[in-house]
Structure 1
Amino acid sequence: MKQQRFDRTYIKDYKETPEGYLTFTDVPITRAGVFPYRRNDGAVSYEAKLPDEILSAHTVSTAQSKAVTDDHPSGLVTLDNHKDLARGLSHTDARVDGDKLLVSFTVTDSALIDKIKNGKREVSIGFLSDIKKESGVYDGVTYDSVQRNIEINHIAIVNKGRAGSEIGIRADSAAWQIEEGGQNMPTYKIDSKDYEVDPVVKAHLEAQQARLDAAEMKVKEIDALQGRVDAYEATIATKDKEIADLQSKQISQDELDQKIAERIALVESAKSFLGDSYDFTGKSDRAVKEAVITLVQPEFKADSKTDDYVDAFYDGAIAKISSEGFKSTGVNTMFTGDAAGVGAADKETQKKIEEMKNKRLNMREGGK
């Protein structure tokens, strides 16, 4: 079923005949392209006039000898109402020029002629076409429907657009304005203010805004992704440092074997002085050495002392014990017998310690 549509363009040049009629030559009344139309449900449909339809021989022929009207009538112009509605007639010179359909026409009504001279200069064709739901892209513009079997019914002279000279009045007769099924112009909001604009201009602005919105959304997505990348990089850098620290703390097998041997030697040596009852479990090398040192020098304080200092003091204490004998009289010492026979003290040292012990006992007996 064919549906009625309206296209609009602007006319500038005309000639006045001896009778006072106005004749317009080669007016572009429609062209190939994608245009917005208001559907019956209020939605906007972007319909394509494809070249093989709008510029076909059939459509061109329908532009000839058609009534020129003052505004669009409420219905189609027919034989029955032609006398009441017609204010002129199109010529039989309809032709194609590039992507446009051109035709000349003459206005014979004095009232409409006065309106034209006073600025009513836009032409809007009323036509019928089959609207087919087909999607595609023409000349870079997406459409959702195609107009097929286009037949021009009348050519209406309508008022100029009301959104300012740059929108409503065109500088040449090749400019276009598509009317959405009536006289009301669509509006476009700029800085919170609504302006009436050409539907094609509005469609273009909305398309540009959509692209801008999509681009801004992409920028936000990229920023979010960059933030995540930065966070990941920071985490990786932290983990790399932790790995490097752990690697720096790792020791070779030879170093491990050496540390084990040193630990065994320390335990064996310290047992000679601390006795079997001393629990070495969980004790660091430093703690063990401090325990031995305090046997030799009870007033020794290891607080704030470096490991190197404690090591040196320990070595000195062992050397002193070896050369001078074990002086402590505390429990779990060699003097009590608890540490006797433990393998870290050599036989010579053990002998000297025993001699010192016997000598001291003799001195005590002689003093009685």
Structure 2
Amino acid sequence: MRTTKLQRFDRTYIKDYQETPEGYLTFKNVPITRTGVFPYRRKDGATSYEAKLPEEILSDSTVLSAQSKAITNEHPNELVTTTNHQQLAKGLSHTDARVDGDKILVSFTVTDSELISEIKDGKREVSIGFLSDIEQRDGEYNGQRFDAVQKNIEINHIAIVDQGRAGPEIGIRNDSDAWQIEDEGGKRNMAKYKIDSVEYEVDPVIKSHLEAQQAKLDAANLKIKEVDTLQGRLDAKDAQLKVKDDEIQKLKEKSLSEDELDAKVQERVSLIATIKPILGDSFDFKGKTDRELKEAVIQSVNAEFKGDSKSDDYINAFFDATTAQVQVNGFSSTGAQSAFTGDSAGTQSKEINDMKAQRLNMRS
């Protein structure tokens, strides 16, 4: 035999009450459950016929569980416990629970003004919420067939509810002994679910499903953010690597091969060998570029020469002309033999200009 613990709701009807000096409503000896076979509509829509056998429903433990229990306005969406008692309890059952024939009776007092007003307006059904082990087994009780037995019944709360959906024919309304039974206890308190800052009433099962889906969506969005963050870091690293690659390429372009370096060294040595006799041993060659050395040679024969605005081709042509005259005529940097200021300046100027032009043509 298979046993499962489930929550159930039984229904009955109340008519008489007493009003206390404080305005509370007290209901005396209300039948809240009894023996018998009762239909319960399951979540899948099927009907289960469950038996409350005397040895179970009228046991001392079940009777005791009816005492000092919360009175609620409709069935809450959860069991009443110490954590939610202050919020859900609208009154309390008394400690006079007892067995009367095939029923359990108990008195209770309602202290909540809103629920008291609803009761006076006709809200009169009582429905107990309880936990029970459901043992699946066929049988018969008082001529009625059943397919399950409720065992270890423990009452959790007593709810005041609106008229049940099964209709008035289910219970006799002429006294407090009438009964109505449903698996959901009549009208349920709807859960609140907020969409775009607006609250909607939804079935608690739907709310749980929506919240589970939202949790999955939030987790997925968090993963997306993490991926975006990692992608941003990768993109930044790629950008840094590209900058480094560009720098390396530029350095490669600037760097010289061994042959090119040898050629540059030879060119430098040749340049110094050419101009050293002109500038003299006292001239400091260290740290000076080829252009600076060439300008120094030109300025040695023309102190007023300024090469700041001149192109490299112009400087090279002027330098070549100067060194050529030195080699041909053997003149000094100053005096009558100066190529630019001495006696030979006039006769040599055309030749120098021709050499300069030739140099420029070679560069073009």
TM-score normalized with structure 1 length: 0.49
